[in-house]
Amino acid sequence: MQPFTVAAIVQVAVYATTGQVVLSTFYAVPVVLCAFVAPARALLDASRVVPLILCR
């Protein structure tokens, strides 16, 4: 194995891992946003519904 080949393999490995990290981040962002938005919406709905129930 020449040093150049080793360096190339290492570089490819680094690019691959960085690519995977970036991809997983892109996939994680909407999931996290949905996880936060869903309870927030539920709370908003509840805060709208509760006064209606109480005022009746």
pLDDT (0 to 100) of residue 28: 87
Gyration radius (Cα) of the chain, Å: 24
d(CA 48, CA 39): 14
What region does 53 belong to: left with phi over 0, alpha with psi -120 to 50, or beta?
alpha
pTM summary value: 0.43
pLDDT (0 to 100) of residue 54: 79
pLDDT (0 to 100) of residue 49: 83
pLDDT (0 to 100) of residue 18: 92
* Segment-wise mean pLDDT, segments of 10 residues, the chain, 56 residues: 84 89 87 87 86 78
DSSP H helices, the chain, are 3-55
Q: Record the tokens describing residue 33, joined without a space.
A: 């946003």
pLDDT (0 to 100) of residue 1: 63
